[in-house]
Each structure stands twice: as C-alpha cells, then as structure tokens.
C-alpha cells in the first residue's frame, strides 16, 4: 500500500472550473441538491471539459436527464451516487439518463469497481433511484403512522430496530439525514410524479429550527448541535407495531422498480443491504413476510390512508394469484425448498430448515382426537429422523390453535378408558418435549385444555394478540389429562397454575406473557412471521449444543439443584467436545460469524 502522503501528493484543489476540468477524463459533481445549480455547473463544465470526458452527478434524487439537458453531450452524462460516508460505504448507484450511452455506463461501472465499490445499475432515470425510492416509502408510512396517532416515534423506531433488524430507527435516521434534507428529497420526488403526500406535522417540523442532529434536536434530543448519540429506545415499545404493515410500502416500491425494469431484483436487494445496512434484501423481507400478507397490508393501508401510493403493484398481485408467496410456498422473488405432506387431521410442511405441523380440523377448532395423536406421532418420528430439519413449529388452521381434546370421544369412556387416553396423549406430548430439535407453538384464537397442554410441551410459545389461553376442564367435571398439572406448575408456579385449573378461566395472550406462560405476543399478522424468524435463528445455532442445553434444562429442573449443576457441567463438557464448539471459539477470536454444521 502506498503511503498517504504519496496519494495526497497527486491531489490538487482549485476553485477554477476551467483549471479543474480542462484535462479531465471524468468529472464527478457534488454540489447541493438544487436542480438549477446542478444544471448551471454542468453547463459550465461541458464548455471546458474535453469532448471525451464523462460528466457524472452525485445527486441522490434529481433527474439525470434534466441535468444532462444543460450539456451538449447527454450521452456522456450519468448518475454516480455515492453513499455517506463514501470512504466506508461500498454502494454506488449508477444511473442512466434517457440519452446515456452503453459505453458511458460500462466505463462508470468499471471505474466504480476499480475504486473498490459495489455498483448497482439503475436502468431508467426514476425518482429516488433505488435506495431513496424504497427508503422514503418506509419514511412515508412511518410519518403517517405517527401523524395519525396510531403509533409514537419511539414505538416505530423500536419496531424498526428490534423487529425488522434495521441498524437505525426510522426517525433516528431522519434526524441523522436532517429533517430539512429529508423534506427536500420528498418534495423532489413528488415534483417528479411520485405519489407521496407529506403530512402536515412533518411540513411544520421541516420549517422549525428542530432539524435533527445538525441542530441538536429533531425527533430526539442530542448532546450538542452536530453531535450524534444513539437514542435509547425500549424493545417493548414496538411490540404492538405491525412490522409487515410498516415495511409493506417499501416492498411495494421495490416491486415497482423491478416490474418496470428500472433495476434487477438482485441489484435492488444488494442496494438496500449495502446502502442501508439492512440485514436482508427488501425482496428477501417480502418472501419472509409472505407476499400475500404484504398485499393484504397494502390493501388495508390503501383503504385507511386513501392514497394511491399504497395500491399493491401488479406484480405482487399476480404472484399471489399464482401462489408464489415466498418461503412458505417454496417460491416468491426467490426459490426455496418446500415439501408438504397431508394427513387426515394434520398437514406437515417441510420448509427447510423448519418443519411445520399444522393441526387441520378447522371446523372442530382443531380439537385433538385419536387420529390426530396417531398422525402426530408418525410425523414426529419422520421429523426426528430428518437431519436437515433444525426446528419445528406447531400451528392451527382456521380460527384457532387448538380448542382442546375432542370431547365427543369422552362420551362412552369408562374411568379406565380415560386413564389410558390420558396416558396416550401424555406419551405423544412427551415425544414433543423430548424431540432433539427445538419446538415452537404459534398460538392464535384459542389454546384451551389439551391445546394449551400441547403448547406447554413445546420449548417456546408465541401468541397473537387477542388469543385466549386456559385449562377449562373443571367445567366438564374433570381435570387436565395431558400434563398441565405438572408442566403448567413448573412454568408459571403453583399458585397461578391452581388458579387457572381450579377456576377454568381463560386469560388473554398479554396476561399469559406477563406470567411467563408465553414468550412473546405479536400482532396477529406477524404470528407466522415471528415463528419463522425464531425457527431460522435457531437453525443458525449449533444443533448438538441446542440439544444438550434442552436436555439439561428438561431433566435438571426435576433434580436437586446440586444434581442439576453437575448435569450442566457434564453438558458443558460434552458441548465443548463438538466440532461446532471449535468453530464457534475460532470464529469469535477471528471476529467473524461462525458456520455451524451440527457436528
């Protein structure tokens, strides 16, 4: 590597455009985002730069074609949008104007690569290009959500950071960019035909002296003007924010870019990952959320907001019609390996690396009968033997997770029959409890009696808001028979377990979370998403160590504390002997993400 002094020695500065450009092969302009100023600069540069010189603009939102109109070489005018800070950010958007030549495009793409950048090609001079078009659709919905009183700034930013996994909250990022600059970019896109509508509250904010980090205060307060400090936002604040609805407009704009040939899906996803530091591409989010769910959210927003910008793009609707709705169907914007096996009472879907066991007696609210137990046991054996499956999710079809055992089967039972039935259901649920792969119950509607006991046999429980859980068997003159007296007591304590079992009352999902009965409550539209996200995160972990941890917890909880500690130590030693432990320790020391293989 050359010493910095040598590099700096080749750089000359001047305020004279003629001196700067007379021998240039490439000129990159970075004056403020004002179209008249840009055109003036390009006109002056065009007059003095060599005829072969390429003139590039670093604009983030203005029309390349309009800027090129100020020159006599529109074929050599191009957008070359660097991201801030350019010494760190890898992304460069390369944007064609209407008359930009292929030769110019190829040269700039090559130069960007030689600079160590990752260029993406914007084939048409579209407002906002890729990143800002998608980002400002996200900003737009966040601003309207707060303006309408649906959510607070903290709630939106909490959801963005902790649910979507974005590196910054939406309002935190607006503050960082500058509220006045954000408003200018909105207005520039609106002037070019984008159907955004700026909320009155944001208009007023942009006219105030509270412009974000630069002024020391915007949506958040900062230590001093120009001094950024990351705002403290509670994880809990965003629990009720529907993340799919919040992100759906950004997916819609990305779909427009792809549909109209403005950019490839690969470049669009690369752009948001490199330009916004999102953990996944916008189309990867779409496939994870479920494109049908995204379209539903957009249709809801179109109705609530009454704005054309929320109308689902044709490509999204067509994908839903074809059943290409993302990970769960095996195909969305990308392809996935999915296999489905239908039984009489359940559906087993292998959405690698996750298996879904879907209770499928919707007319009976998925009540558990003898056939379901038989089929569930068979499915669990197949899943146990499938080394590619790393996590298992239990869900219910229709309006409920599971309303309990099928009481019609109790009608002619003798006491002995009831005892044997109880032992049978306990046996199947013990298979779930002892499965070598982590299990997740995704609860919606009702989880009652045997349905709640099924969920209790799982390692983790996620519930949709509005769900009801309970052990109402006492109302039938009986008691729980699938181990609620044991598992429920261990999970929520003796007093609360007795309360639920003695009174037979239902409790809301939120109350269930507060007593530790469920791990998390999410908006109904997010239930499947949350279960999938947990399953995918588990799949990235070392499978053998997960198994060891599960067994040490399951069997240690019934032992004396001293015995439990010994079990833990033995498990620790066993886990350390695995190849995954070697990889994990090595990756930590090398400051990289580990690649576990389950060995």
Phi, psi of 49 (to 5 degrees): -75, 150
Cβ atoms of residues 527 and 282 within 8 Å: no
DSSP-derived 3-state class of residue 485: helix
- Show the 3-state SS of 256-275: HHHHCCCCCHHHHHHHHHHH
Residue 236 neighbours by CB under 8 Å, 6+ apart: 158
Would you say 443 and 462 are in contact if contact means Cβ atoms under 8 Å apart?
Answer: yes
Q: One of 284, 375, 473, 530 is an active-site residue; which one?
A: 473
Place of tokens 């994908």: 319
Q: Are 493 and 501 in contact (CB under 8 A)?
A: no
Distance CA 432, CA 156 (A): 37
Is 321 in the active site? no
For residue 397, which phi and psi values (nearest 5 degrees)?
-85, 160
Single out the catalytic residue among 93, 155, 453, 513: 453
- Concerning whether 453 is annotated as a catalytic residue, the answer is yes
Strand partners, 79: 57, 95
540's CB contacts (< 8 A; 6+ apart) are 596
d(CA 593, CA 499): 46
**Whole-number Å distance between alpha carbons of 319 and 286:** 12
**Residues 268, 262: Cα–Cα separation, whole Å:** 9
Determine the Cα–Cα distance for residues 256 and 160; give it in Å rounded to an integer: 23
Q: Which distant-in-sequence residues (6+ apart) come within 8 Å of 310 by Cβ?
A: 249, 252, 298, 299, 301, 302
Contacts (Cβ under 8 Å, ≥6 apart) of 501 = 471, 473, 474, 479, 480, 484, 485, 488
Tokens for 327, please give them. Answer: 């990970």
Catalytic residue list: 453, 473
């Amino acid at each position: 590597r050359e010493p910095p002094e040598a590099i700096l020695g080749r750089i000359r500065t001047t305020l004279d455009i003629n001196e700067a450009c007379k021998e240039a092969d490439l000129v990159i302009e970075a004056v403020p985002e004002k179209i008249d100023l840009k055109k003036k600069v390009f006109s002056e540069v065009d007059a003095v730069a060599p005829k072969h010189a390429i003139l590039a603009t670093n604009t983030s939102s203005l029309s390349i074609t309009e800027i090129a109109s100020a020159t006599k070489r529109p074929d050599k005018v191009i957008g070359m949008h660097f991201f801030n800070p350019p010494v760190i950010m890898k992304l460069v958007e390369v944007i064609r104007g209407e008359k930009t030549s292929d030769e110019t495009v190829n040269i700039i793409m090559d130069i960007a690569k030689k600079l160590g950048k990752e260029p993406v090609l914007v084939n048409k001079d579209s407002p906002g290009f890729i990143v800002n078009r998608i980002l400002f659709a996200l900003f737009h919905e966040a601003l309207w959500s707060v303006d309408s009183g649906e959510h607070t700034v903290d709630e939106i930013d909490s959801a963005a950071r902790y649910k979507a996994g974005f590196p910054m909250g939406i309002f935190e990022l607006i503050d960082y960019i500058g509220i006045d600059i954000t408003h200018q970019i909105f207005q520039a896109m609106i002037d070019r035909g984008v159907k955004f509508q700026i909320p009155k509250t944001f208009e007023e904010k942009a006219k105030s002296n509270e412009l974000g980090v630069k002024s020391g205060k915007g949506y958040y307060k900062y230590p001093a003007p120009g001094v950024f400090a990351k705002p403290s936002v509670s994880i809990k604040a965003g629990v009720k924010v529907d993340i799919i609805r919040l992100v759906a407009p950004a997916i819609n704009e990305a779909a427009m870019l792809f549909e109209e040939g403005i950019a490839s899906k690969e470049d669009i996803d690369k752009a948001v990952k490199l330009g916004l530091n999102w953990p996944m591409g916008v189309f990867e989010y779409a496939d994870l959320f479920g494109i049908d769910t995204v379209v539903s959210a957009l249709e809801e927003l179109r109705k609530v907001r009454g704005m054309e910008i929320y109308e689902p793009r044709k490509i999204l609707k067509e994908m839903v019609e074809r059943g290409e709705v993302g990970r769960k169907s095996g195909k969305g914007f990308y392809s996935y390996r999915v296999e489905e096996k239908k039984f009489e009472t359940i559906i087993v879907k292998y959405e690698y690396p996750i298996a879904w066991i879907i209770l499928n007696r919707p007319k009976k609210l998925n009540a558990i009968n003898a056939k379901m137990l038989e089929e569930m046991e068979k499915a669990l054996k197949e899943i146990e033997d499938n080394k590619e499956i790393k996590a298992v999710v239990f869900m219910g079809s229709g309006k409920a997770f599971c309303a309990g055992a099928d009481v019609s089967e109790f009608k002619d039972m003798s006491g002995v029959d009831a005892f044997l039935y109880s032992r049978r259901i306990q046996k199947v649920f013990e298979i779930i409890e002892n499965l070598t792969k982590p299990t997740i119950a995704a609860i919606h509607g009702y989880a009652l009696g045997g349905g709640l006991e099924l969920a209790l046999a799982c390692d983790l429980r996620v519930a949709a808001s509005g769900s009801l859980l309970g052990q109402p068997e006492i109302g039938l003159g009986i008691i729980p028979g699938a181990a609620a007296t044991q598992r429920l007591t261990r999970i929520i304590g003796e007093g609360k377990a007795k309360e639920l079992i003695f009174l037979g009352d239902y409790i809301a999902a939120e109350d269930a979370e507060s007593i530790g009965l469920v791990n998390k409550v999410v908006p109904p539209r997010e239930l499947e998403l949350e279960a999938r996200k947990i399953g995918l995160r588990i799949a990235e972990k070392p499978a053998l160590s997960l198994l060891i941890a599960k067994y040490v917890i399951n069997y240690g909880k019934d032992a004396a504390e001293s015995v439990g500690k010994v079990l833990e130590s033995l498990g620790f030693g066993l886990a350390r002997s695995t190849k995954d432990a070697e990889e994990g320790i090595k990756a930590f020391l090398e400051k990289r993400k580990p690649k576990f293989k389950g060995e």
